Amino acid sequence: MVKFLHTADWHIGRKLQGKDLLEDQQYVMEDLINKIDEIKPDFLIIAGDLYDRSVPSKEATSILQELLVKINIECNVPIFAISGNHDSRERLAIGEAWFSKHKFYLHTRLEQAFERISYENADIYLLPYFEPFEAREYFEDITLTTHNAATKRVIDEIYKNLDTNKTNILVAHTFVSGGLETDSEREISVGTVENVAVEIFDKFDYVALGHLHNPNAISEERLKYSGSPMAYSFSEASQTKGMRLVEVTKDSYSEKFIPLKQKRKLHNISTAYEDVFSKEFQQHFDCKKDYFSMELSGMEGITDPLPRIKEYYPNTLILKQKRKAIAESEMKIDREMLTKSPFDLIEGFYTEQTGSELTMGQKRLLVNIIDKVNQNETN
C-alpha cells in the first residue's frame, strides 16, 4: 500500500480582484507543510498550476522554490508534479535533471507521460497539461482535434505498457466531463467538446486531477480533484479548501480530505446599504480582516459609497448595486401578456397611451397589417 497526499492548483502569485494574495498563500502553505510533517506520507502529488502566471513575479518564484525545498529536502518527502495550463513549462523545467536526483519528479512535456516512475509497489505516470496539436504532432495523427480524442490516445499508449500487477497512479491536469467549475479556472476550451470522458481512465487505481478548484467537482471513487488549497474567487467562498490523503492498493482504497487553515475568509454579502454598518450585522464577520464582495440595495443617490464601507470593511473588493426584485404584480402582467394575441397587445397599448379605444376602421386596418406580417413570415 502507498500513502500519499494529493494537492493541486497552488497558483502562487495569484491576485484576487487586484489584491495580492502572497501573504495568504504563505500562511496556507505553512499549514500544508505542517500537515505533511504530521502525516508523513510516502510522497506528495501536485497536479499542475504551481504558478498562476507563465511569467511569475520574483516574489512568487522565491516562495515556490522555498516551499519545494522545505517539502522535498527538509521534510524528505518525494514529490511527483506536472505543469498545468497556467504554468510556463520552460520555467518549471529549469533544474529538472537535478530535481529527479532528489526524488522530485516534475514532468512538463507530453513525451514524458509515457515514462513509468516506480515507487515501491506503485507505478506513477505524470501527464502534464497539453494541447491537442501536440498529440497530433507526436502521434502524426491529424484526427486528434479535441482534448478528449488526444487524451484517449495518450492514455491508450500508456496502457500498452501498464503493469497490472502493480498499483497504477495517474497525475493529470484536465477538465473531466461532469466537473463543476468556478470563476477562477482559466478555460481550457469553450464548450463540452473539449471535456475528457471519465471512462478513459478506468484502468488506473487512482487518478489525481488538477484544474478544477472545487474538491467535490466530481463524484468518482478513485478519480478525484484535490481542489485548490485556498479560495481564488468569490464563487469559491463556501468551499472547504485542503488536500486529499489517499491510501491505495490494487484491492483497497481509502481517502480522507484534509482541510487547510485559511488566513482570511471570503464573503458574498447581499443586503441593504445601511445594514452593513450595524453592529448586529458586523458581529458575524471578521470585518477588518476578511475579503468581501457586496451587492447592496439602497445606494441610490450616494455618489461614492465605497470609502465609507471600507472604513468598516477594508478588504471590500467588489461593490455592486443590488438589482431590484421584480414585483409579483409585474410578473403576473408579464405572464398575462404572453397569453395575448398581437391584436390584443397593440389594442391595449393604444388604449393605455391615448386613453381612447380603436375605431372600427383602425381595427380593420390593424387586422390587415397583422395578416400581411404573418403571411410574410410563412413565405
| pLDDT, one tens digit for every residue, the chain (379 residues) | 999 999 999 999 999 999 999 999 999 999 999 999 999 999 999 999 999 988 899 999 999 999 999 999 999 999 999 999 888 777 776 666 677 778 999 999 999 999 999 999 999 999 999 999 999 999 999 999 999 999 999 999 999 999 999 999 999 999 998 655 555 555 544 333 468 999 999 999 999 999 999 999 998 989 999 999 999 999 999 999 999 999 999 889 999 999 999 999 999 999 999 999 999 999 999 999 999 999 999 998 888 999 999 999 999 999 999 877 655 555 555 556 666 678 778 887 877 777 778 888 888 788 778 777 766 654 4
What's the confidence (pLDDT) of residue 362? Answer: 83
DSSP 271-304: EEGGGGGSHHHHTTS-TTTSEEEEEEE--TT-S-
Residue 176 has what DSSP assignment?
Answer: B
User: Do 189 and 151 meet the contact criterion of CB atoms below 8 Å apart?
Assistant: no
What's the confidence (pLDDT) of residue 336? Answer: 62
What's the confidence (pLDDT) of residue 191? Answer: 37
Distance of CA 259 to the CA centre of its chain: 18
Closest by Cα among 351, 375, 378, 374 to 362: 351
Give whole-number Cα distances, 3 to 30, 122, 339, 368, in Å.
Answer: 21, 11, 63, 79
What's the confidence (pLDDT) of residue 148? Answer: 93
What's the confidence (pLDDT) of residue 182? Answer: 58
What's the confidence (pLDDT) of residue 11? Answer: 96
State the amino acid at position 238 in one-letter form.
S
Closest by Cα among 249, 248, 299 to 277: 299
Exposure b/e, 108-136, CB count within 10 A at least 16 = b: bebebbeeebebeebbbbbbbbbebebbb
Give whole-number Cα distances, 77 to 45, 65, 104, 106, in Å.
Answer: 10, 15, 9, 14
What's the confidence (pLDDT) of residue 330? Answer: 55
What's the confidence (pLDDT) of residue 378? Answer: 46
Give whole-number Cα distances, 247 to 6, 59, 114, 259, 325, in Å.
Answer: 11, 35, 24, 17, 50
DSSP 352-369: HHHSSPPPHHHHHHHHHH
What's the confidence (pLDDT) of residue 239? Answer: 95
